[in-house]
Amino acid sequence: MSSSISKRMLTRSFCRDFSKDGFRILEPLPIVAFLNFSAGFQNSAEKHTRKSKMIYFKAVSKLALLLITLLSLTGCDYPPPPTVTPVGCIPSPLGTQFADVTGDGKADAIAINVGTAGAPPAGITVRRSDGSKFLANESWTTGPFSGGTLGTYFADVNGDGKADEIEVNSDGEYVRLSTGSSFDPAVKWSDPVYDGIQGTYFADVNGDGKADIIAVKSDGVYVGLSTGSSFGPSVNWTNGAYYGSGNTQGAYFADVTGDGKADAIVDNFDPTTNTGGITVRRSDGTQFLDIESWITNPYYGNVGTYFADVTGGGNADAITVNTSGVTVRRSDGTQFLGIESWITGPFYGDYHANCIQ
């Protein structure tokens, strides 16, 4: 066996052992360096005495043990997080989202991959929530998958209690209904594009059990109520701008109060002063009410920030996705509580919709 073949086999085997999330597999540099070193040491030792060879094998054994220990703590290299949407572009969800796709009342973790070079095959991976952690990976799509060019979303658009996948494209919205264990093939639901300058969202803001379409624009938050098969006329629910400032653009929509209606949420952060926080405008079914402060200091993820009921308590919780893991702050209906770690280590997909100016 050549040294190049043995090097590839060993590096791949280490990656398979430690890349448990099924995302990108990269050859860990410590192992490559170790193999280069050991090969050179072996060539040198073979030219000398048996004692030199014994010293070689002892040294290699110690180095191997040290590197295996380090890899068990750190794992293989992981892809960098998706590029942040530039200011002035329509923001859209990134490769990790949270929604109750199984219908058990708890939001699950969802990773979206579109077949980036070196990454896993295109498709949607789900990790179910058991109320205190996210379980093992499950593949929920089969066949071709590319996601929406203007955004991929998850919301219950047909009122059956399970979040469906929605793809927003230049020619309209496409839906993959959830069966509770997979997503059906995509079906076109509407022809016109309904997008906001600061983002397009799907959430049930009037409490009828069906997700509505929401467009965040510079002069307000516009809502088109769902009829179950289409979206109604666009109505301004804030009568004024409501979206993030600093390095955050856009808003979020989730039922943080537990009354069955999705509320408007903004996560602000100003990097120049290191200040920020999370504010909420409750929905009364026809409009979003006055601004309330729910977190008074910065809380956001370097990969993404989300709001979904991961505990099953009826209120959407605050979630941050970082390159180091996933944290949760539970909602009690009036504020977000202390930080809890729910995933240690990276969990995010490579999907990012095109930037539309």
**What is the per-residue DSSP string for 158-191?**
SSSSSPEEEEEETTEEEEE-B-SSSBPPPEEEES
* φ/ψ of residue 332, rounded to 5: -105, 10
Q: How many CB atoms lie within 10 A of CB 245?
A: 12
Could you tell me if 356 and 90 are in contact, meaning their C-beta atoms sit under 8 angstroms apart?
yes
135-147 per-position pLDDT tens digit? 999 999 877 787 8
> Which residue's structure tokens are 């060019």?
149
pLDDT at position 341: 96
Q: How far is CA 176 from CA 141, 225, 231, 254, in A?
A: 10, 19, 17, 21
pLDDT at position 192: 65
> What HEC string does 192-255 produce?
CCCCCCCEEEEECCCCCCCCEEEEEECCEEEEECECCCCECCCEECCCCCCCCCECCCCCEEEC
pLDDT at position 187: 86
Q: Which segments of the chain does DSSP mark as H helices, in order?
A: 3-18, 29-46, 50-74
First to last CA, the chain: 54
pLDDT at position 343: 93
Instruction: Determine the length of the chain.
Output: 357
Reading the block at residue 131, the tokens are 């109320």
- Three-class SS state of 139: strand
302-330 per-position pLDDT tens digit? 878 889 899 999 999 999 988 889 999 99
> Which residue's structure tokens are 């990454």?
119
pLDDT means over runs of 10, the chain (357 residues)? 34 32 34 42 49 53 47 38 40 71 94 76 91 93 81 90 90 89 89 71 93 89 85 88 68 94 93 90 98 94 86 94 92 96 84 45
Q: Whole-angstrom Cα distance, residue 268 to residue 246?
A: 7
Average pLDDT along the chain: 75
pLDDT at position 49: 53
pLDDT at position 205: 97
- pTM value is 0.62
